[in-house]
Structure 1
Amino acid sequence: MSLSVQKTTFFGIITEFRKWIMLILVALVLFFGYKYFSSKGDTLVVEYDTALIQEQIKNVGKLVVTEGHFAEVITYKDSKKYLGDFISFEKKAIVVINADVTVSFDLSKMKYDIDSINKVITVVEIPKEEIKIAPDFKYYNTESSTFNEFTGQDYNKINKIARANLSKKIQASTLKTNAKNRLLSELNSLFIVTKNLGWTLKYKDEIITSDKEVKQKFLD
């Protein structure tokens, strides 16, 4: 074989080798480029989903208030007796109480954890209901004497009796039930968002899988 033929063969091998090296380098660049951008895309999706979850919690995290009106009539009597039962001084009044009542859940106090890697949101604690009673007292047929006048202590007693009676009426009414239904509506909207995004909603250590379980687990 002549020298010129040997040189041609050698350079041909070198050229072919370079082509393979370039093909391998291009393949590696494409592979790692795909991995980089696909992983970056996954991260962006997780961040976007997490932002949506946090926005939903922010929307849910408001004051859920249910209002009601109650009335109460009290006949208040008190007497002071002297010389045994021989002398008695009585004071009395008819008291009409109209009260505006609110039952509320401040969901901004809801405690939760977000696991963005595993796509799990865990509600740790639901705030307790807050009952506020705003009574308006009107006194009728008030009678007293110099020896047994109305004092601040009497008004405090009337206030205490009225609030106790109103609390019983509130417990027997549908006001608290209506407030809890509104609470469940807000929590259910959170469940729907997490489900649509492919996330898991948990309450404490239990997974919520349906609307029915929202009611069962959150009100236990």
Structure 2
Amino acid sequence: MRNFLLGAAIMALLAFGIKYFIDQSNIQETELQSSDLILNQIKNVGKLVVTEGHFAEVISYKDNKEFLSGLFTAKKTALVVVNAKVQVSYDLSEIEYVLNKDSKTVVITKIPEPEIDINPDIEYHNLVSDLLNQFVPKDHNLIRKKVVKQLEEKVMSSSLVSNSENRLISELQKLYILTNSLGWTLKYNDTVIDSQAEIEKLID
């Protein structure tokens, strides 16, 4: 009887030990699967061309050159009509983050700035120039720079940027939902993201 009880106790300990190691193995495997899912979510985002729009602009270009201490001025003017295709995108492959499997934490340390791609189609009208102040390639370069600068200012205050930010927020929300469902914590630097509303604050 004593041998039977001893044998039963040994079998119970073996069974408990086997179950413990199986459970531990399952926990480690689950944690590995969780971290792989999060890594895939981050890597699969890729580059987002989030919004595209068209802008029109009319610019007056003037350039005056003075001669003989201001006694004579040579002028040139042009009316510049611009139609531009604009894309605003976030390259989320440039997101910087730290993934800690032990604490089950994903810390985003950097969110990239929006990239603005402007392709202007420039047409010149009413070109007028004096003999001593003719249009040269330098003028076209200056006009193009002025056009791009004005369009950048216009784009930054337009709905294109806000729409692209909404797309960025949507992608970050997917990451938050995934980490939250797996029992992980999502942070931006030292700030814990504990709601989808918190993500919107990251872009402000």
Do these two structures clear the TM 0.5 threshold for a shared fold by scoring above it? yes
Instruction: Provide the residue aligned with 1:79 in structure 2.
Output: 64
**Equivalent of 2:188, from 181, 197, 203?**
203
How far 1:64 moved relative to its partner? Answer: 4.2
Instruction: Provide the residue aligned with 2:128 in structure 1.
Output: 143
How far 1:61 moved relative to its partner? Answer: 3.7
Residue 219 in 1 paired to residue 203 in 2?
yes
Question: Which is worse superposed, 138-147 or 109-118?
Answer: 138-147
Q: In the alignment, residue 50 of structure 1 is paired with which amino acid? A: S
Distance in 1 (alpha carbons) for counterparts of 2:103 and 2:91 = 28
Aligned residues: 204
Instruction: Provide the residue aligned with 2:160 in structure 1.
Output: 175
**Equivalent of 1:114, from 87, 95, 99?**
99
The sequence identity of aligned pairs, in percent, is 42
Write out aligned runs for 1:155-194 (5 A).
155-194=140-179
Q: In the alignment, residue 113 of structure 1 is paired with which amino acid? A: V
How far 1:118 moved relative to its partner? Answer: 2.4
- Please give the TM-score of this superposition, normalised by the length of structure 1: 0.84
Question: Are 1:124 and 1:204, in contact at CA under 8 Å, matched by a contact in 2?
Answer: yes
- Please give the TM-score of this superposition, normalised by the length of structure 2: 0.90
Residue 52 in 1 paired to residue 37 in 2?
yes
Question: Are 1:61 and 1:110, in contact at CA under 8 Å, matched by a contact in 2?
Answer: no
Q: Deviation per CA, 1:56-98, whole angstroms, max 9, x where unpaired? A: 1123343243212111111222233434555443322211111
Distance in 1 (alpha carbons) for counterparts of 2:4 and 2:153 = 89
Question: Are 1:69 and 1:99, in contact at CA under 8 Å, matched by a contact in 2?
Answer: yes
Distance in 2 (alpha carbons) for counterparts of 1:41 and 1:114 = 21
How far 1:106 moved relative to its partner? Answer: 0.5
Distance in 2 (alpha carbons) for counterparts of 1:196 and 1:103 = 31
Question: Are 1:72 and 1:98, in contact at CA under 8 Å, matched by a contact in 2?
Answer: yes
Larger radius of gyration: 1
Q: Tell me, what secondary structure is at the counterpart of 1:187? A: helix
Q: Tell me, what secondary structure is at the counterpart of 1:138? A: strand
Q: Tell me, what secondary structure is at the counterpart of 1:60? A: coil
Residue 40 in 1 paired to residue 25 in 2?
yes
**Structure 2 unaligned residues grouped into runs of 5+:** none
**Structure 1 unaligned residues grouped into runs of 5+:** 1-15
Question: Which is worse superposed, 31-40 or 201-210?
Answer: 201-210
Distance in 1 (alpha carbons) for counterparts of 2:74 and 2:98 = 65
Question: Are 2:61 and 2:78, in contact at CA under 8 Å, matched by a contact in 1?
Answer: yes
Q: Tell me, what secondary structure is at the counterpart of 2:187? A: strand
Question: Are 1:65 and 1:105, in contact at CA under 8 Å, matched by a contact in 2?
Answer: yes
